[in-house]
Amino acid sequence: MRRAILVFALAAPLIVIALWRLSPGAAISVLALSHALLLYPTLRPNVQWLGPVVTNFHTEGRELWLTIDDGPTGDTLALLDLLERRKAKATFFVKGKLALENPGLIREMVARGHSVANHSQTHPSGSFWCLGPRRIAGEIDACNAELATITGIEPQWFRAPVGMKNPFVHPILDRRGMTLIGWSGRGFDATMSNAEGVLRRLMPHIYPGAVIVLHQGREWSLRVIERVIAEMQDRGYEFVIPDQSRLKTKR
């Protein structure tokens, strides 16, 4: 579908020119449609028109994948202690610039049985969706290089800042053998500090094989993450890190 959208977007200006004398309204409609077909899958996380986005994984049990964005931050060691105490595993989608500043925290994540993945080098949350291919490749490659140097392992998973992507992201990831990871549910805990409110947002999207996204580095992060883990475990779920073969793009 990505190819069809791009072909139409490229052809739209010519169609508009051809239609303008016959019907300006139709020409404007074609232009608006071409913009919408590009902007909707770009600005809406998990929309798969531009390429596959992992939103869940195959499981025969009550398993969830906990993903934690934006680290490593000052609460990392306390968060790792919390995960160990709750017997929960997680994947940390980290910023390359913070990994460079805190390599010991990255190594500690891995040492405690968690996985580390790419969340871009500088996390340009307001502009990543509109960056060109060179800048996007630079954000991904720089973070990959930092994590590979620290852990000795090339990251296989990428999550775009705020989940937004554009037509350049999938080809870049494909050339690097990487997978774009989205989520089944998010609690908006990046800005919401109320743990019960976060849970209310998450619960409609919880099912076996769901991918949960939470954040670290906020004053309330530990409290919210612990509340979510406890509630899910009370409901009989365990937190695992699925391997690549279990990842799915559709429920």
Query: Per-residue pLDDT averaged across 166-190, rounded?
Result: 97
Question: Is there a domain that residue 50 lies in?
Answer: no
Tens-digit pLDDT profile for residues 75-86: 999 999 999 999
Query: Per-residue pLDDT averaged across 145-151, rounded?
Result: 98
Both 20 and 74 in one domain: the answer is no
Does residue 72 have a cis bond before it (omega within 30 degrees)? Answer: yes
Looking at the predicted structure, is the pLDDT value of residue 8 above 80? no
- Tell me the average pLDDT of the chain: 93
Q: Partners of 158 in the beta sheet?
A: 118, 180
Residues 6+ positions from 34 with CB-CB distance below 8 Å: 8, 9, 12
Q: Which domain holds residue 63?
A: 56-248
- Cα-trace Rg, the chain: 20
Element (H, E) at 64: strand 63-71
Task: State the total domains in the chain.
Answer: 2
Question: Is there a domain that residue 48 lies in?
Answer: no
Looking at the predicted structure, is the pLDDT value of residue 7 above 70? no
Question: Is there a domain that residue 135 lies in?
Answer: yes
pLDDT of residue 34: 63
Question: Is there a domain that residue 184 lies in?
Answer: yes
Residue 127, burial from CB neighbour count under 10 angstroms (0-12, 13-18, 19+)? exposed
Instruction: Check which CATH number belongs to the domain holding 116 and give it.
Output: 3.20.20.370
Both 99 and 144 in one domain: the answer is yes
Both 86 and 186 in one domain: the answer is yes
Looking at the predicted structure, is the pLDDT value of residue 132 above 60? yes
Tens-digit pLDDT profile for residues 208-239: 999 999 999 999 999 999 999 999 999 999 99
Both 63 and 144 in one domain: the answer is yes
Question: Is there a domain that residue 177 lies in?
Answer: yes
